[in-house]
Amino acid sequence: MPLHLQSKLLRVLENRVIERVGGIEQISIDVRIIAATNRNLEEMVENHEFRDDLYYRLSVIPVFIPPLRERKEDIPILIDHFLVKYSSHMGRSLQKIDPQAQKMLLHYSWPGNIRELQNTIEYAINMSEDDQVIGMEHLPNRLFRNSSTDNKPLQINGNLFKGTIPNQQGKLKNMEIEAVCQALEKFGTTTEGKEQAAKYLGISIATLYRRLKEINSLKVL
């Protein structure tokens, strides 16, 4: 807000009156103001970019809302909210999200905060078409480019693996393999453990063995 408009807003807050555009009659108002910004107003006051008197008038009860990446516990709640919202908006039955896709959303840094998450869920529902479950393949590519899980070594029972799966969906494939590794860490590599891991991942035992074959092709460090 330009400085000359800041002074007008300050007068409204102080006097609690407004004038219509082109009018001369003062109209009393009874309002409460909620002001939000992603700028450092204290720094702007020092740089004479924001009026100090307006800043102190607005900053009666300051509330700091941390970015989404610092409150991961809110992400599942927001995902459920946006799934309901956009499933209803698009006339679809309520979509569900695959555990690995949800894990991807939990680990993403969300530089665009809630608006980016909202956009992502809307995109995923559109991409899922007739599928009832949103999977990794339905998420935007930018999540994989910026994922914090990129370039981490894979691990099974303490053994580290390196390498990539050389195809056009390499990053997605690597994340799927990492999910298999973590599931096997949880349930073990016995036949029963593999069956539990497949059930946990929501895939068939045959798919699990295909992933294990890919993992075994990687070089052990």
pLDDT in tens, 155-187: 444 444 433 333 334 544 566 677 778 778 878
User: How many degrees, rounded to 5, is the angle at CA 70 between CA 68 and CA 76?
Assistant: 55
- Stretch among 83-97, 135-149, 151-165, 199-213 having the lowest mean pLDDT: 151-165
User: Could you give phi then psi for residue 33, rounded to 5 degrees?
Assistant: -105, 130
How high is the mean pLDDT of the chain? Answer: 80
pTM of the shown model: 0.54
C-alpha 159: how far from chain center:
31
Helix (H, G, I), strand (E, B) or coil at 47: coil
Q: Contact, 221 vs 161, CB < 8 A? A: yes
Q: What is the pLDDT of residue 173?
A: 58
Average pLDDT (25-41) is 90
